[in-house]
Structure 1
Amino acid sequence: MKRSVVKLGGSTAFHAEMREWIFALATAGMPLVVVPGGGPFADQVRDAQKQMKFSNQAAHFMAILAMDQMGLAIVEMHDRLVPARTFEEIDVALERREIPIWLPSQMCFSATEIPQSWDMTSDSLAAWLAGKIGAGALLLVKQTNAFDENSQILNLVADGVVDPLLPMMLKPATGFFLAGPAALVTARHRFAAGEVPGVRIGADRPLARGAA
């Protein structure tokens, strides 16, 4: 079965939906990797940059470290979740039927193909990881339901639902899904059945076998 990547948006951090999503993810019957958003930790980087005037390069690295921090917080929320900093640690966790929570700094700091910009958020980093591990599906979990099966990626960028670099980072063979709070109704059942909850965006895009 193809791997899936799930980006758990940092916007869920202070909402009850975060734990609901984590409990749903923990039932997963397929191999998946969770990418944490930066959440309140990334917000602090943005605020500090305004006051301290450090470069976007420094802010980019700090925002990735914010994802590490968020990931460490998420790991403590369920026994099936484990931290993963490398491809090898991801592989080992999946072989053990654990759910790796990606802590991206170790892999991303040296990745020259990743733009050092606020346009490159955890959305695009999740797409980058999905491409690297050959994931069949990428699911972005958002704290909004402002999309449907007719939504187009470029319109989602314009509306601020996803980041500007996602279209560039998302591989053509990766099925792309979005889920908001409304998807929680069926999320546990669908994850347990080895399916991706939410809405598939761009139905004309190819979907790798075993990713549905």
Structure 2
Amino acid sequence: MKDVLVVKFGGSSIASTDLRKWVEAIEKSKRRLVVVPGGGPFAKLVRQYQTRIGYDDDAAHRMAILGMEQFGHALASLGTRLRPAATLDAIAAAHGEGLIPVWMPAKLVIRADEIEHTWSTTSDSLAAWLAGQFQGASLCLIKQIDLPAGSTIEAVSAAGVVDTGFASLLHPATRVFVAGPSDLAVAGRRLAEGAVPGREVTHEKQNGFVEAAQ
């Protein structure tokens, strides 16, 4: 599959009043989309109870992935074109029907040897990994922050906007965009035109988010 746009909903967006507006915006897209849900409060509970109960990082990783799926089912229920999809074949089938697949990551991620089962690999990294499964794909991360122009992958990782494992799972050919609150007003129109909302985050090492935010 070519010309796929992977759209990652940050877990914190589940508490945002803009969540439904973002769903409405992506459903206007004319290109093939794949929605990746964040872990949100479901993954936070996994982390919270890990310190209480003492289960290991492998168990926590698997539980957090299931937390992503919980948010994914919630997202799918908010749209008219959204359908849960667990495999690449299911994603392709949804595209063939003109639908937007919402990725349920457990089946693919658990058996992917290159993905570490630690807290350094969060849903942002999994979205980057998924984008790498499609030739020429782009990745749009919906965040609750507006990035300055000229941000880089290295800088946003250092600033904690994405996790530390993000760069290692990102394919060099994947273009990355970060869409914040200020992008919502035009997101539907841009997606309908085949464009990507947000600011592109470059792979080059240059002044980026850390420097621009100071």
Shorter-chain TM-score bucket reads over 0.9
Q: Tell me how far 1:196 sits from its aligned partner.
A: 0.5
| Partner of residue 164, structure 1 | 164
| Partner of residue 101, structure 2 | 100
| Partner of residue 148, structure 1 | 148
Partner secondary structure for residue 114 of structure 1: coil
Map 1:100-139 to 2 at 5 A.
100-139=101-140
Amino acid at match of 2:199: V
Partner secondary structure for residue 139 of structure 1: strand
Map 1:15-164 to 2 at 5 A.
15-145=16-146, 147-164=147-164
Q: Tell me how far 1:50 sits from its aligned partner.
A: 1.2
Give ranges in structure 1 of 5+ residues lacking alignment.
206-212
Moved more, 104-113 or 147-156: 147-156
- Does the CA contact (< 8 Å) of 2:154 and 2:203 recur in 1? no
| Partner of residue 201, structure 1 | 201
Partner secondary structure for residue 13 of structure 1: helix
Find the aligned partners of 2:29 and 2:100 in 1 and give their Cα distance: 9
Moved over 4 A (4+): none
Amino acid at match of 2:159: D
Moved more, 23-32 or 135-144: 135-144
Q: Tell me how far 1:113 sits from its aligned partner.
A: 1.1
- Does the CA contact (< 8 Å) of 1:9 and 1:36 recur in 2? yes
Q: Give the TM-score normalised by structure 2.
A: 0.92
Find the aligned partners of 1:152 and 1:131 in 2 and give their Cα distance: 18
- Does the CA contact (< 8 Å) of 2:191 and 2:197 recur in 1? yes
Q: Deviations over 1:187-208 (max 9, x none)?
A: 0100111111000011769xxx
Paired-residue identity, %: 43
Q: Tell me how far 1:149 sits from its aligned partner.
A: 2.4
Find the aligned partners of 1:154 and 1:73 in 2 and give their Cα distance: 32
- Does the CA contact (< 8 Å) of 1:183 and 1:197 recur in 2? yes
Give ranges in structure 2 of 5+ residues lacking alignment.
206-214
Find the aligned partners of 2:158 and 2:28 in 1 and give their Cα distance: 34
Amino acid at match of 1:192: A
Amino acid at match of 2:201: I
| Partner of residue 185, structure 2 | 185
Q: Tell me how far 1:53 sits from its aligned partner.
A: 1.2
Compute the RMSD of aligned alpha carbons: 1.4
Partner secondary structure for residue 79 of structure 1: coil
| Partner of residue 6, structure 1 | 7
- Does the CA contact (< 8 Å) of 2:25 and 2:188 recur in 1? yes
Find the aligned partners of 1:202 and 1:108 in 2 and give their Cα distance: 26
The count of residues paired between Structure 1 and Structure 2 equals 204
Partner secondary structure for residue 139 of structure 2: strand
Find the aligned partners of 1:134 and 1:109 in 2 and give their Cα distance: 22
Q: Deviations over 1:149-194 (max 9, x none)?
A: 2112122112111111111111111111001111101101001111
Amino acid at match of 1:7: K
| Partner of residue 208, structure 1 | none
